[in-house]
């Protein structure tokens, strides 16, 4: 009886083993060029120059494309900028963005807010230009400081938000008159 049970068990195991291989389904519509080279969730990227921290970026989802030389960011992004002494100066938040890897410029889109200890800027699109560390936008912006509120189109500032220009002002008021 023991041998019968052993032979039956072995035969049963061989029954379920087969040489037929199961192949996963592959979507023929997907093009390899459209797939990211790397993908990451809850990512932290540190930008440095000569060993000094210039910025730290957090992204809920990051897709890097080597061929296009760009990184797409989504699921809420946050960037903290630092000065030459590695002191935190400014924070930028947005829903999504893109890093152009040929220039290391950051393009932030959708609900962009940039703030320092005394100034807050709100807009829908903004770019941080790496070569001169400037924050620029050609869209509608709202600048809120302790002394004034200014709205307009077109904006440029150093990354610490100490020296800024609004090119086409549509509204300005002093906060002490509100």
What CATH superfamily is the domain 37-177?
Lipopolysaccharide (LPS) transport protein A like domain (2.60.450.10)
For residue 132, the cross-strand partners are none
Ordered by start, the domain boundaries in the chain are 37-177
Q: Beta-carbon neighbour count of residue 39 at 10 Å?
A: 12
Please give the sequence-ordered ranges of beta strands (E in DSSP) within the chain, or none if there are none. 38-49, 52-65, 70-82, 88-94, 96-100, 105-115, 120-129, 134-144, 148-158, 164-174
**pLDDT tens for residues 43-70?**
998 988 889 998 999 999 999 999 899 9
- What's the whole-model pTM score? 0.79
**pLDDT tens for residues 1-43?**
666 666 767 765 666 665 566 677 777 777 777 789 999 999 9
């Amino acid at each position: 009886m023991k041998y019968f049970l052993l032979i039956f068990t072995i035969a049963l195991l061989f029954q379920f083993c087969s040489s037929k291989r199961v192949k996963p389904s592959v979507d023929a519509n997907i093009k390899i060029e459209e797939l990211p080279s790397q993908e990451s969730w809850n990512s932290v990227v540190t930008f440095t120059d000569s060993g000094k921290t210039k910025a730290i970026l957090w992204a809920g989802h990051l897709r890097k494309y080597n061929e296009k030389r760009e990184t797409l960011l989504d699921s809420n992004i946050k960037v903290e900028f630092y000065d030459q002494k590695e002191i935190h100066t400014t924070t930028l938040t947005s829903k999504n963005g893109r890093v152009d890897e040929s220039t290391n410029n950051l393009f932030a889109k959708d609900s962009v807010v940039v703030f320092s200890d005394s100034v807050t800027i709100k807009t829908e699109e903004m770019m941080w230009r790496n070569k001169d560390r400037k924050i620029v936008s050609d869209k509608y912006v709202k600048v809120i400081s302790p002394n004034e509120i200014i709205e307009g189109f077109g904006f440029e500032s150093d990354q610490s938000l100490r020296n800024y220009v609004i090119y086409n002002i549509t509204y300005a008021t002093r906060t002490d008159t509100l």
